[in-house]
Amino acid sequence: MTPVIALVGRPNVGKSTLFNRLTRSRDALVADFPGLTRDRKYGNGQLGDKVYTVIDTGGISGDEQGIDAAMAEQSLTAIDEADIVLFMVDGRAGVMPADQAIANHLRVNQKKTWLVVNKTDGLDELTATADFFSLGLGEPHPIAAAHGRNVTALIDEVLSPFPERDPLAGPAGSHPGVHIGVIGRPNVGKSTLVNRMLGEDRVVVFDEAGTTRDAIEIPFERRGKPYVLVDTAGIRRRKNVSLIAEKFSIIKTLDAIKECHVAIMVLDARSGLVEQDLHLLDYVLSSGRALVLAVNKWDGLEQEAREKMRADIKRRLGFADYADLHFISALHGTGVGDLYKSVDKAFDSANSHWSTNRLTTILQDAVSEHQPPMINGRRIKLRMAHQGGSNPPIIVVHGNQTSSLPEAYKRYLTNTFRKVLKVKGTPIRFEFRSGD
Ligand code: GDP
Ligand code: GDP
Tens digit of each residue's pLDDT (9 = 90 or more) over 252-266: 788 888 889 999 999
**Reported confidence tier of residue 343, pLDDT bands at 50, 70, 90:** very high
Q: Is the per-residue pLDDT at 400 higher than 50?
A: yes
Cα(134) to centroid of ligand 1, in Å?
23
User: For 261-281, how does the pLDDT look when each residue is reduced to its tens digit (9 = 90+)?
Assistant: 999 999 999 999 998 899 888
Could you tell me the distance, in angstroms and rounded to a whole number, from the CA of residue 6 to the centre of ligand 1? 17
Ligand 1 centroid from CA 265, angstroms: 36
**Which residue type is seen at 95?**
V
Task: With beta carbons less than 8 A apart as the criterion, state whether 18 and 97 touch.
Answer: no
Residues 6+ apart with CB under 8 A from 43: 19, 22, 23, 28, 29, 30, 53, 54, 56
Check whether 233 is labelled as a binding-site residue: yes
**Which residue has a Cα nearest atom 6 of ligand 2?**
189
Among 24-28, 76-80, 351-355, 405-409, which stretch is predicted with the lowest mean pLDDT? 24-28
pLDDT class of 10 with cuts at 50, 70, 90: confident
pLDDT digits (tens, 9 = 90+) for 48-68: 878 888 888 765 655 555 544
Provide the sign of the torsion angle of the four alpha carbons 159, 161, 164, 168, taken in this order: negative
The pLDDT of residue 201 is: 45
Q: Which residues are near ligand 2 (CB < 6 Å)? A: 184, 186-192, 235, 241-242, 246, 296-297, 299, 329-331
- Percentage of the chain beyond pLDDT 90 is 53
Pocket test for ligand 2, best of 185, 187, 200, 339 (most atoms within 8 A of CB): 187
**Per-residue b or e along 357-378, where b marks 16 or more CB atoms closer than 10 Å to that residue's CB:** eebbebbeebbeeeebeeeeee
Cis preceding-peptide flag for 167 (omega within 30 of 0): no
pLDDT in tens, 74-117: 677 778 888 999 999 999 999 998 899 889 888 887 789 999 99
| CA 432 to chain centroid | 24
The overall average pLDDT reported for the chain is 84
